[in-house]
Amino acid sequence: MSNPEGAQKQLPSYLTESLIRRSLEHDLQRSVTIDRFTAGPATAAGDNYLSDVFWIRVEYDGGSAEKRLLAKCMPNVGDRGATLDVLDAFRKESETFQQLLPEFSRLVSADGTEQFGAKCYYATTEPVRTIVFEDLKALGFRMCDRTKGGLDYEHMALVMRKIAKFHAASMLYARQSPEHERRLATRYAYGLYNPEEKPEDCRIIVPLQKGFEKFLSVANGWPELDPVVLRKLELLRPTFGERVADCVKPQQPAARYKALNHGDLWSNNMMFRYENNGTVVREIMFVDYQISTYGSPGLDLVYTLYNCPHRDIRLDRREDLLKLYHQVLSDTLKRNRYEPVPSFADVEEEFTRNEFYGLVCALTLLPIMVMERSNDLDLSFDAFFKEDHGDRVRDIQYNGTTFRESVVPILHDLHARGYIQ
């Protein structure tokens, strides 16, 4: 008999003993008796937008065993439910964790030591869409603080190595059979934007458009921003939504090579493990595969290198990080006799061809990712669709000191290289 305690009093009705028992039984392939469990919210406001995430500690089988789990719940409420449907987020993420990631791990490490995500115990749509994982925090992983302005070079090096191995694993998987290639191309055909929607109706692009307009308003008073840049950005206003929809399309005829993109690699979708009393970062794990997409790897590279690094290394160390990515990608593919191996020129081409996406990230996503924390502000997904509240949140995001210090050098660099036209 379960004995709910403490934080469990605030849990939603769908986080039940039955769900926990089914998760364990699905993994262990036998019946389980739950003795007691405790649970509580696993993320802070603003750290997760499309899901509700809960930690679970469960004792079972007469107290002889204990597990630490994480439940990622996606209730069909408000704009979140509709957005999850349009993005096909639950199907995509559950399939990725249950089927692709274990296969990817085997492809690049015979002993399965190269892991691309937490172990998945169970996925269900009843009573709400839920995926149950092992709790990476219990294994010593933790997130970096997104409000600190970005990741340092040591963290970014781990990020690029992991992306390279993930991309390589997907390339090896696609090479195994035409059916694998078709599976990636059809079941991961789009990410951030479903082409069946019009850009002006897209629940993702609409708030990005509003963010862009907020930037134009706020930055008008920044003396350190070249006024020529601001004037050119102003000219993008009428077509910005269409340009966003176009730049996130994964199928690009000119692509030098294709890979499965994670699709949302920012600091809150990464967890790190440390050594030497937390002073040396040693390992990384990706989370949240809701908008993965198969196509140009430039989408992951641009998204990550514009959103994740600290401003001191975003531009100065970008080539170093791309070279590191290429080295690991090349080594992984050669070790598995994959041909032809992309050259560094191929990697550069995929990155530079997709850099308008970097402009989109800088103007619309970066202010969200580096926003200072606020205990009295609703940062839920639905809040962004409430006109007055959404405007208040954007005021805070776009007037943030960290954002301002980060975005101006990005814009000057993009303008100098001809990407603001």
Nearest to 58 by CA among 143, 121, 102: 121
How does strand 34-41 pair with strand 280-286?
Answer: unpaired
Q: Which two tokens stand for residue 244?
A: 């966003």
Nearest to 91 by CA among 110, 115, 74, 67: 74
CA angle 325, 315, 223 (to 5 degrees): 160
CA angle 292, 98, 90 (to 5 degrees): 50
Which residues lie below 8 Å from residue 317, measured CB to CB, with a gap of 6+? 153, 156, 309
Q: What are the backbone angles phi and psi of residue 334, rounded to the nearest 5°? A: -65, -40
CA distances from 142 to 58, 145, 160, 366 (A): 21, 9, 18, 21
pLDDT (tens, 9 = 90+) of the chain, 421 residues, equals 344 444 455 788 889 999 999 999 999 999 999 999 999 998 765 555 678 899 999 999 998 899 999 999 998 877 788 888 999 999 999 999 999 999 999 999 988 899 999 999 999 999 899 999 999 999 999 999 888 889 999 999 999 999 999 999 999 999 999 999 999 999 999 999 999 999 999 989 999 999 999 999 999 989 999 999 999 999 999 999 999 999 999 999 999 999 999 999 999 999 999 998 888 999 999 999 999 999 999 999 999 999 999 999 999 999 999 999 999 999 999 999 999 999 999 999 999 999 999 999 999 999 999 988 766 655 555 555 566 667 888 999 999 999 999 999 999 999 999 999 8
Rounded to an integer, what distance in angstroms lies between the CA atom of residue 19 and that of residue 200? 39
Residues 47 and 143: beta-carbon distance below 8 Å: yes
Q: What are the backbone angles phi and psi of residue 52, rounded to the nearest 5°? A: -105, 125
Rounded to an integer, what distance in angstroms lies between the CA atom of residue 195 and that of residue 248? 10
The pTM assigned to this predicted structure is 0.93
What's the start-to-end Cα distance of the chain, in Å?
Answer: 65
Beta bridge partners of 273: 141, 283
pLDDT of 373 reads 74
> Is the peptide bond between 127 and the residue preceding it cis, with omega within 30 degrees of 0?
yes
Beta bridge partners of 38: 57
User: What one-letter code names the amino acid at 36?
Assistant: R
Strands of 280-286's sheet in order across: 141-142, 270-275, 280-286
- For 167, other C-beta atoms within 10 Å of its C-beta total 27
pLDDT of 308 reads 96
What domains can be seen in the chain, in order of their start residue? 145-417 (3.90.1200)
Which residues lie below 8 Å from residue 326, measured CB to CB, with a gap of 6+? 164, 342, 343, 344, 347
Would you call 262 helix, strand, or coil by DSSP?
A: coil
- For 1, other C-beta atoms within 10 Å of its C-beta total 7
pLDDT of 321 reads 98
pLDDT of 7 reads 46
Q: Which helix (H) or strand (E) holds 56?
A: strand 52-60
Rounded to an integer, what distance in angstroms lies between the CA atom of residue 127 and that of residue 49? 20
Secondary structure (DSSP) of 98-160: IIIHHHHHHHH-TTS---SSPPEEEEE-SSSEEEEEE-GGGGTEE---GGGSSB-HHHHHHHH
